């Protein structure tokens, strides 16, 4: 490869053309790039092409002269564009990094590759535009190569490299990677026998059992798309997701807490078939476990009809499924992951194969050298239907060829026991989990020295919790930021190296972050100033399913995604989140939208007006509190009565935990309900209570 050139040595290797004509590349409003030069009135003088306007993912929008030399244009992981000039005398590729001046030219038929720009060397430009690069710990690079690959390749690679390494452990039963791969292949064939293939969406309504892992990869290998469903969802949300996502088949368990909810959707929605498994079949003693669960009235009787298939029947085949290669991992949707909104029902984030595998590669790049492939154990307590857990506890764990210890729920006693006896090395969690652990009786007497990497996400991590956890375990608790729409990587805090209290870290490799002006969404604010956090990178979703309007609403003028978080970045590239532009609460790691709760409360016949805000919760972070004005002559009700009314209308994580009935609710001068006064009043109450304590 030719050395890097800059200044007056601009790309002279370009077929002998005086590359001083290549002057700069920049972003334009159509989210593409404009390439110009210093000769011919700002044109790029190469084989008759005078100017190139590249619209990301589209054909060329405007070429002043010849069309013959330009063959195609497509987007790159880094948010820029790639275009190819292929006349007979030249085969060159030009790549622009969005917003940068550096242009890379690939010349396979001539002298190789070189860099050129009109200013400082590429390294200096990167330092100026991306201050976090200088803060990266040794061994971590921002400009890693991320190949877009299908999600099942993560499992296939682990099976090929570590076939006899334990992959899953559930209630004392282990599966090796070879055994897991075999079960996934059988699930793929079984699903194909049920009609699954490209264009078919299959739902997962499951807790953390091997069924989830097997079905997830089986769906993708069969050619289908995964739709995640939360067992916390209310009936109306389930119905919406089924219809909106076009889910035809759904995998669940015969648990009384799960099966009745989805069985009610058969015939009432487009859902046509249920695949039903049992916890007992995945344990070392299935008969004993089933008997115990029956005695506890935890199970349902499952009909034997053409709308039901048992999980065992699904796997009863030779595993020779028909492969459906993913033609373009950047375009093919792997998972529809629904996320709530400040208005209306949840939206489905379209996460492609490339999104999910890029996020996995990004995470690995930040811990390579800290974790060892084929020699780690991860405790998977967070629910796999949540994107954070799906990525870290399953995909990333398999990238490490780690053994995944599955827990169906967070039980501090069980977690503390397994951390010690099973020598867990990786523990992803949310702040409420770590708060419970550090306060667990006798935890200070446990040997937790096996822990190498612990990550906290889903909500801001209190500094005191991080400090106590580190003192207790000797393992640093690393905070990061991400969201469903980003697969869900975004920022990371280095395990070793610079750290800053109160920060959620710095951008992941290949992630770029900017702060949008809060008053003028046509420009960004300078570094150090507060603005709406916006992100670009190969991990960012394709868009919202069947909702172009919602996608457009979160897309900036230059193609970044608006997150709704208000943040600033310091001189070292560390991000500090200070507020939200969205009306959203974080309750135990789950996004909860007051608008959803308010709409459910408005269905109560006695309610005239309602405002829901978040109040501090020592364990969950925040909890919803409802302020209610009753209709004239309506009878008041208690919190317990309101919760009973809302039980079928809201998920458990959304349930109101406090209530206050008032004669009037605060309003703005134009008569709109105002929450500012309610937040102020609650803050004063807390301050007064602390002052008298």
pLDDT tens, position by position, 681-691 = 999 988 888 87
What is the pLDDT averaged over residues 434-439?
A: 88
Average pLDDT over residues 509-532: 95
The verdict on pTM exceeding 0.85 is no
Q: CA–CA separation, 662 vs 683, rounded Å?
A: 18
pLDDT digits (tens, 9 = 90+) for 571-595: 999 999 877 777 788 888 888 888 7
User: What does the alpha-carbon distance between residue 499 and residue 491 come to, in Å, rounded to a whole number?
Assistant: 12
Residue 405: alpha-carbon gap to chain centroid: 21
The pLDDT tens digits of the residues spanning 65-118 come to: 233 333 333 333 344 433 333 322 222 333 332 332 223 333 233 222 222 233
Query: Per DSSP, what are the bridge partners of residue 253?
Result: 277
CB of 198 within 8 A of CB of 308?
no
Domain 132-150+353-581 class, CATH top level: alpha beta
pLDDT at position 196 over 90: yes
Query: Which neighbouring-strand residues pair with 333?
Result: 352
Q: Is-same-fold flag (132-150+353-581; 177-325)? A: yes
Q: In whole angstroms, what is the distance from residue 48 CA to residue 85 CA?
A: 11
Report the pLDDT value the prediction gives residue 496, as an integer from 0 to 100: 87
Residue 294 pLDDT > 50? yes
Check residue 439 and give its pLDDT. 86
Q: What whole-number distance in Å separates Cα of residue 615 and Cα of residue 600?
A: 19
Q: Which sequence spans correspond to the domains of the chain? A: 19-129, 132-150+353-581, 177-325, 585-692
Tokens 């200096």 -> residue: 124
Instruction: Tell the residue number behind the tokens 């998977």, with chain if given.
Output: 380
Mean pLDDT to the nearest integer, 643-652: 93
Cross-strand bridge partners of residue 533:
515
CA distance 204 to 191: 13
- Tell me the sheet residues that pair with 410: none
| Pick among 3.40.50.980, 3.40.50.300, 3.40.630.30, 3.40.190.10: CATH of 177-325 | 3.40.50.980
Q: Is it the case that residue 400 has pLDDT exceeding 60?
A: yes
Q: How many residues does the chain have?
A: 693
| C-alpha span between 177 and 186 (Å, rounded) | 14
Mean pLDDT of 19-24: 29
Closest listed residue to residue 432, CA positions, set 620, 623, 616, 655: 620
User: Quick one: pLDDT band at residue 7, thresholds 50, 70, 90?
Assistant: very low
pLDDT for 668: 64
Residue 344: pLDDT band (50, 70, 90) is low
- Predicted local confidence at residue 556, as pLDDT: 97
| pLDDT given for residue 77 in this prediction | 39
Mean pLDDT of the chain: 82
- DSSP result, 4-30: P--TT-TTTTSTT--GGGEEEEEE-TT
219-264 pLDDT, tens digit per residue, is: 999 999 999 999 888 898 999 999 999 999 999 999 999 999 999 9
At residue 24, does pLDDT exceed 60?
no
Confidence of residue 693 (pLDDT cuts 50, 70, 90): low
Could you tell me which of 665, 666, 660, 663 has the C-alpha nearest to residue 615? 660
Percent over 90 (pLDDT), the chain:
64
Determine the topology of domain 585-692 in CATH: GMP Synthetase; Chain A, domain 3 (3.30.300)
Bond into 646 cis (ω within 30): no
Q: Is the pLDDT of residue 342 over 60?
A: no
């Amino acid at each position: 490869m030719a050395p890097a050139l800059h200044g007056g040595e601009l790309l002279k290797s370009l077929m002998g053309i005086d590359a001083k004509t290549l002057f700069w590349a920049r972003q334009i409003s159509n989210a593409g790039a404009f390439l110009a030069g210093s000769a011919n009135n700002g044109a790029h003088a190469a084989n008759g092409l005078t100017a190139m306007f590249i619209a990301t993912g589209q054909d060329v929008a405007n070429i002043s002269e010849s069309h013959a030399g330009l063959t195609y244009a497509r987007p790159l992981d880094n948010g820029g564009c790639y275009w190819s000039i292929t006349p007979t005398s030249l085969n060159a590729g030009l790549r622009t990094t969005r917003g940068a001046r550096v242009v890379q030219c690939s010349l396979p038929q001539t002298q190789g590759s070189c860099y050129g720009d009109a200013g400082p060397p590429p390294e200096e430009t990167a330092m100026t535009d991306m201050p976090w690069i200088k803060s990266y710990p040794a061994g971590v690079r921002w400009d890693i190569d991320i190949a877009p690959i299908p999600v099942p390749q993560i499992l296939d690679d682990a099976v090929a490299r570590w076939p006899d390494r334990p992959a899953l452990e559930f209630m004392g039963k282990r599966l090796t990677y070879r055994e897991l791969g075999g079960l996934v292949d059988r699930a793929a064939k079984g699903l194909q026998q049920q009609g699954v293939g490209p264009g078919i969406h299959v739902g997962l309504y499951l807790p953390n059992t091997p069924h989830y892992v097997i079905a997830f990869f089986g769906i993708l290998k069969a050619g289908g798309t995964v739709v995640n469903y939360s067992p916390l969802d209310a009936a109306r949300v389930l119905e919406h997701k089924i219809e909106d996502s076009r889910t035809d088949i759904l995998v669940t368990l015969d648990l009384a807490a799960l099966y009745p909810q989805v069985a009610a959707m058969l015939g009432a929605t487009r859902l046509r078939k249920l695949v039903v498994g049992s916890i007992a079949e995945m344990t070392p003693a299935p008969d004993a476990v089933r008997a115990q669960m029956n005695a506890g009235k935890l199970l349902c009787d499952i009909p034997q009809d053409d709308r039901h298939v048992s999980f065992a029947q699904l796997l009863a085949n030779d595993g020779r499924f028909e492969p459906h290669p993913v033609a373009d991992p950047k375009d093919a949707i792997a998972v529809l992951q629904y996320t709530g909104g400040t208005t209306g029902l949840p939206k489905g984030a379209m996460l492609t194969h490339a999104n999910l595998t890029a996020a996995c590669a990004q995470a690995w790049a930040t811990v390579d050298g800290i974790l060892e492939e084929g020699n780690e154990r991860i405790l998977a307590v967070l629910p796999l239907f949540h994107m954070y857990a799906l990525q870290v506890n399953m995909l990333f764990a398999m990238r490490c060829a780690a053994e995944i210890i599955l827990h169906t729920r967070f039980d501090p006693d069980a977690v503390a026991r397994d951390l010690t006896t099973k020598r867990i090395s990786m523990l992803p969690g949310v702040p409420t989990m770590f708060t419970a652990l550090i306060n667990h009786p006798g935890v200070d007497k446990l040997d937790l020295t096996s822990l190498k990497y612990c990550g906290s996400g889903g909500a801001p991590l209190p500094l005191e919790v991080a400090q106590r956890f580190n003192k207790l375990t000797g393992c640093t608790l690393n905070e990061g930021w991400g969201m469903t729409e980003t697969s869900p990587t975004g920022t990371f805090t280095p395990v070793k190296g610079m750290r800053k209290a109160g920060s959620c870290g710095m951008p992941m490799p290949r992630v770029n972050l900017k702060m949008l002006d809060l008053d003028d969404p046509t420009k960004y604010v300078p570094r150090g100033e507060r603005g709406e956090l916006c992100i670009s990178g190969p991990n960012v979703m394709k868009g919202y399913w069947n909702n172009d309007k919602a996608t457009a609403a979160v897309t900036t003028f230059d193609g970044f995604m608006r997150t709704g978080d208000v943040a600033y970045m310091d001189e070292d590239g560390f991000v500090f989140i200070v507020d939200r532009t969205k009306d959203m609460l974080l309750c135990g790691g789950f996004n909860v939208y007051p608008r959803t709760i308010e709409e459910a409360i408005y269905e109560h016949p006695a309610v005239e007006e309602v405002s829901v805000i978040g109040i501090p919760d020592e364990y969950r972070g925040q909890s919803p509190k409802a302020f209610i004005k009753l209709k004239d002559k309506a009878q008041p009700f208690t919190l317990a009565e309101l919760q009973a009314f809302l039980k079928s209308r809201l998920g458990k994580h959304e349930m109101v935990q406090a209530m206050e009935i008032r004669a009037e609710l605060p309003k703005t001068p134009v008569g709109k309900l105002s929450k500012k006064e309610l937040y102020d009043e609650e803050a004063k109450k807390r301050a007064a209570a602390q002052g008298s304590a």
